[in-house]
A and B are shown apart, each in its own frame.
Chain A
Amino acid sequence: MERDLIIPRIQKTLIAVLGHDHFEMRDDLTAPDVEGWDSLTHMSIITGLEKEFDVRFKLREINKLRNMGTLIDLIGSKFV
């Protein structure tokens, strides 16, 4: 799947879970930059993304995430 198709769907999921859109979808965006994205909400976001894209992540994949760019790449890799 193209990155351009992935990004708006991630954005949609984040807004649904966090209840706001005060963030910019940049590759170097990290969780601490986004209000409310902490360890408690992280798992809701992950399950939200799994549902949105109908994919399953592995724990090791989650642990390797560093920023929005790596998240987009991870989701993209599920559709190769």
Chain B
Amino acid sequence: MERVSATAQNLVLLAGGLFFYGWADLRFLALLTLSAATNYGLGLAIEDTKSEPRRRVWFWFGMVFNFGLLAYFKYFGFFYDSFVDLLNQFGGHSEHLSLKIALPLGISFFTFQVAGYLIDVFNGGIEVCRKPVHFFTYVFHFPKLLSGPVERAQAFLPRLTLVRAFDRALVTDGARQILWGIFAKAVIADNLAPLVDRVHADIPGSGGSTLLLAAPLYLIQLFADFSGYSNMAIGTSKMLGIPLAINFRGPLFVANISEFWRKWHISLTSWMMDYVFTPISFLLRDKGRVGMVIAIFITFLAVGIWHGANWTFMAFGLVQGVYFLPLVLSGKVNVTSRKDRWWQQVPAMLGMFVLMSLTFVLMRATDLSAAWMYMQGIPNASLFETPDIDIWTIFIPLFVFVGMEWYTRGMDHALQTWATERHWFFRWTSYGLLITLILLSMSTQEAGFIYFQF
């Protein structure tokens, strides 16, 4: 006989989630609550309506509601300003939108989760959630609320019906995952940030070698920042007995583009694959490879635009589509990865690392012309000078980070096997070292998470 019900546990979680969001962004707590309530009701309406045309109406109302809200907050200013630019090209004299619309924290993550829920209910992929407490707990679950992982209702809701009990193995594993996450964020990402920022602040004044070195440093910074956040979020939720989706699985070490997207921001990519790529490629399935190419371009354009309203993000998405072309046109998408030994894959992995480093300049650059200037700055005589980046202060932690990520690239997180496979002395020494490095790196300045803006 359980002394506590799952609903009571969920209520505690929900109260925590509401408090957490209210603390981070009180203005938008009401907006998110209203949206969650609307989606809860729409789910029931879609499920319980017998007439097919009416079900469709409810469904499409839900899509317009969710993506309309997202579009208003995230994209309206951009489209308005782009429209004004266009008018002014033809001799107009309109002003840019002076009032910037504030962006509710986590709205991209929030929208994709509730929209996915409605699509699943509509398609019969999941059972509708009738318990408001469960649904709100899903939406407001605090570890994933601001920056993901993008949790699927399909996987998450069933967990809320189970009573969670204290599990020592789960709690210590969660704690180790959080430790690795803080190390990645506080030691690696936050120490790389000023080095990368300095280069991007003065692209014309930076030599070719400096630009070339700053590109992979930014990719590692972004990876450390976002995987660090994800590990903290997943670890925290794990300690509460609710496992979350995996978000990264060694994306720095991949042999082709398709493998990269199976390992980078997995929860977002798999969402896009299921709800954008699958329906589009299904509709175009009689068009052969052309249909596949169109579906891939639309999917990665959506991935790019998901990050925000900027031409750089759209270019980022388009470039990903281009990278897929050789795979699709040669028909190699279907061929499973060769069973090479890891060292046989190293040249391809290095090539992909350089390619993705240069591509992610688009994610960091303020606009397209800055990104273009960056690329043009690399191939010139200054490429053979010593890079003007003081990497040596961070070199040893960086080496440990990349080395550990390589060594544990198939695992959920880098310290996963620490409890069972390492001698206690080695284990506690490594924890001590990580904590020392974290304490030494903690600055008094506030360092936000990169993905909070998306």
Report B-chain residues with C-beta under 8 Å of the C-beta of A39. Answer: 270, 273-274, 277-278
CB-CB contacts below 8 Å: A21-65 with B: 35-36, 38-44, 46-47, 50, 59-60, 62-64
| A2 → chain B closest CB, angstroms | 26
Closest Cβ of chain B: how far from A57's Cβ, in Å?
8
Q: In the complex the two chains form, what is the Cα distance from A18 to B262 in whole Å?
A: 17
Which residues of A lie under 8 Å from residue B273 when comparing CB positions? 39-40
Q: A59-B279, A64-B123 are in contact. Are A40 and B336 (CB under 8 A)?
A: no
Q: Does A20 contact B (CB under 8 A)?
A: yes
Q: Which residues of A contact B282 (CB under 8 A)?
A: 43, 46, 59, 62
Chain B contact residue count (CB 8 A cutoff): 24
Task: Tell me if B66 counts as interface (CB < 8 A to partner A).
Answer: no
> Bound complex: CA of A2 vs CA of B312, how far in Å?
54
Cβ of B5 < 8 Å from any Cβ of A? Answer: no
CA A20 to CA B337, docked complex, whole Å: 11
Give CA–CA (A69, B278) in the complex, Å: 21
A interface, over-half SS: helix
Tell me the complex Cα distance, A43–B276, Å.
Answer: 13
Given contacts A46-B282, A60-B123, A64-B124, contact A40 B333 (CB under 8 A): yes
Kindly report which residue of chain A lies nearest to residue B270, judged by CB atoms.
A39
Q: Would you call A17 an interface residue if the criterion is a C-beta within 8 Å of the partner chain's C-beta atoms?
A: yes
Name B336's contact: one of A20, A46, A60 (CB within 8 Å): A20
Given A35-B336, A63-B123, A64-B124, CB of A43 within 8 Å of CB of B274: no
| Interface check B376, CB cutoff 8 A | no
Bound together, the chains give a CA A44 to CA B292 distance in angstroms of 9
Kindly provide the distance from the CB of A74 to the nearest chain B CB, expressed in whole angstroms: 13
Interface residues, chain A, CB within 8 Å of chain B?
Answer: 17-20, 35-36, 38-44, 46-47, 50, 59-60, 62-64
What 20 new A-B contacts, CB under 8 Å, besides A39-B273, A39-B274?
A: A17-B334, A20-B336, A38-B258, A38-B262, A39-B278, A40-B258, A40-B273, A40-B333, A41-B334, A42-B278, A43-B285, A43-B292, A43-B295, A50-B285, A59-B278, A59-B282, A60-B123, A63-B125, A64-B123, A64-B125
